[in-house]
Each structure stands twice: as structure tokens, then as C-alpha cells.
Structure 1
């Protein structure tokens, strides 16, 4: 389970580095590489709403800043956990707004069948500067690939659709809300 949360955090970080804030709508399959691990899944965004599901995981995550909630949906149990979405926590988790400092065209490459221009992009966040590569394909608002310059992580999108159904960002009808299990020695979570 911890691996799943780490992977979701990596995906969110890659999206935060790659995408302009809250202006997109798309759905796509994705390949996420972090170190020696590789996972596949799918993701969708519409405005500030985001959904991520990794292949082989028993749950998927829907982030709804507009409702100040994050849902972890578990289809096998027909249930979901609801957690408060705190924008300040999102910033601490690596989703701070990124300010692009520079962008330099390096060349052209084909990524997953998409002819793309490769850029080296420098972004600054929370006082730190980071360099990433982005591959931008004509006709898409998202990079078809984003990667750390040092190769430590990458996110690739394929089978990109320019729309995402509203239903992707809602808990399915008939699912039961689960309570967050109490941890020994921890105070009870406040109810909403």
C-alpha cells in the first residue's frame, strides 16, 4: 500500500511539473518510471479535478480541490475513503506551483508514435531549481513525456483523448463511504 501512495505522489509531482495549472482536459494511458520501477495506469484531468489509477492496484484516486476532498475508490469492495483535501498539504507533498524559468528546444523525437519537439525546461519551486525534459506533440496541450534530466523518473502518455467524462471524477453510485481506521495512539479524525 505504501508503494501505491509513493507512486501516486510521483505521478502527481510529474503532472505538477508538466502541466499548466488547472487549464486542461484530457484522459490518457500512462507509463511511470521511478528508479528501477515501472508502472502503467491511466489518468484524467478536467480543470482542477484529477483521477489516477495504476494497473494492478486495488484502488484509484480522485482529487477534487473544488470540493476539498480526495477519494480513494475501491471497486472490489464497492466502497471509498474520503480524505480532506488541504491545498497546503498538496504543496508540502510536492505539488507546489512551478514557475518556468527557461525553455530550450533540443531537437525532435517520436514518443509512443507522437512526433514531438524535445525541450529542456528549468522550473523553480519553493526556492529550488529543477531541470526536466518535455516532449511536446503538435495538437496536444500536455507533454507526451516528461522526465528528470538525471533520468531518475519519467511519465509518458499514450492513447491521449482530448476530453474526459465528468463521471470519471465522481464516486460511482451505490458505493459505501468507509471510515478511516483509527491508528493506535493517534487522536480520532474529526468528522466532516
Structure 2
């Protein structure tokens, strides 16, 4: 379940008003790409990926202040608190645009975009912002490339963003609990 979560944590995800599905390709430079199916409806997000031959699902629900990591084969899930400062659904804003350097208009993932560069403490990141949805369809830095491909606009079922019926909640030991066990 851990590999699925890292894809969500490492990127700024789609815009708040959007409703679509896409294939997300996460490419650490020099390593094999990892892919996931992403569904976005407003500020809700669902990500499905295969990890070691097993399907893993992460649902992010800022409205409920929760994220769920779901194992459909075991019919179990882990619930994690969601904090506003962890907001993954960052729409490209005028404030961000003012801090970025506009480079050119260019397609990314078959979508018309405006390409920007952000320099934070010497670390340069290129960002391709969709002119239709106002969110990053591609982000590239010195270590990774994240790109949304096969973006399909359209209505999504609310049930995609809910826990499935009959799944068992499991807990993950905290660091404090791990210390107690090892003593």
C-alpha cells in the first residue's frame, strides 16, 4: 500500500472544479515508470495502481478530513487523517503564476499548456499547466517526471470516492507503539 501513497504525496494534483479520469505516469529518473489510474471530482481523488500484482486504491477526501488506503483483495483499509496543509489539490493560481517564469506554450500529454519554470532554492521545476483545466498535467524536476495522460472529462460516480461496503478497518502501529514492542 505504501507505493500507491507516495504518488499522491509527491505531486500537486488537479484543479478543484475539474471532473475527469486520467492515467498518471510517475517516472523517477533512471528507474522504471509507475502508472496509476486517477479519478478526480472536485477536491476528491481516487488513485488505483498495481503493486506486486495486487490492486491498491487510495481515496483522498479533504471534505471529510480523511484518506483511505484500500486493499480490495483482503477487503481491508487503513484510515489516515487529512490535514488542510497537506492539500494535494492545488489549482494553478495567479499567486503561483507570479512566482513562476513563463517559458512558452506547448502541448503536454496531448493537451495545450503553458510551460512555466519555478526556481526554489536552486531547484528548478518545469510545470505544464493545462489551459483548459488550470492544473499541472506534467511536472518535471531533477529527480522525477509526473504526467497525466489520456485525460477524459466527464461525470464520475460518487461511489468511486467512498469506502466499499463490508471492508475491515485495520490500524497501523504508530512509532510510539513500535518502541514499546521492541523494548
Tell me the TM-score normalised to structure 2 length.
0.72
Q: Are 2:51 and 1:53 aligned?
A: no
Aligned to 1:161: 152
What is the deviation of 1:67? 1.0
Shift of 1:82: 1.8
Distance in 2 of aligned mates of 1:136 and 1:39: 22
- In the alignment, the residues of structure 2 paired with residue 144 and residue 64 of structure 1 have an alpha-carbon distance, to the nearest angstrom, of 21
Give the drift of 1:61.
0.7
Find the counterpart in structure 1 of residue 164 from structure 2: 172
2:64 corresponds to 1:67: yes
CA distance in 1, matches of 2:64, 2:113: 37
> Which whole-Å CA distance do the structure 2 matches of 1:13 and 1:64 have between them?
17
- Normalising to structure 1: TM-score of the pair? 0.70
Q: CA deviation at 1:105?
A: 2.8
Question: CA 1:144–1:184 in 2, change beyond 3 Å: closer, same or farther?
Answer: closer
Q: Paired residues, what number? A: 169
Q: Find the counterpart in structure 1 of residue 36 from structure 2.
A: 41
Confirm whether residue 104 of structure 1 aligns to residue 102 of structure 2.
yes
Q: Which residue of structure 2 aligns with residue 26 of structure 1?
A: 20
SS in 1 for 2:64: coil
Task: Kindly indicate whether the alpha-carbon contact (under 8 Å) linking 1:106 and 1:118 is maintained by their aligned counterparts in 2.
Answer: yes
Say which SS state the counterpart of residue 76 (structure 1) adopts.
coil
Q: Would you say the 8 A contact 2:76–2:170 is kept in 1? A: no
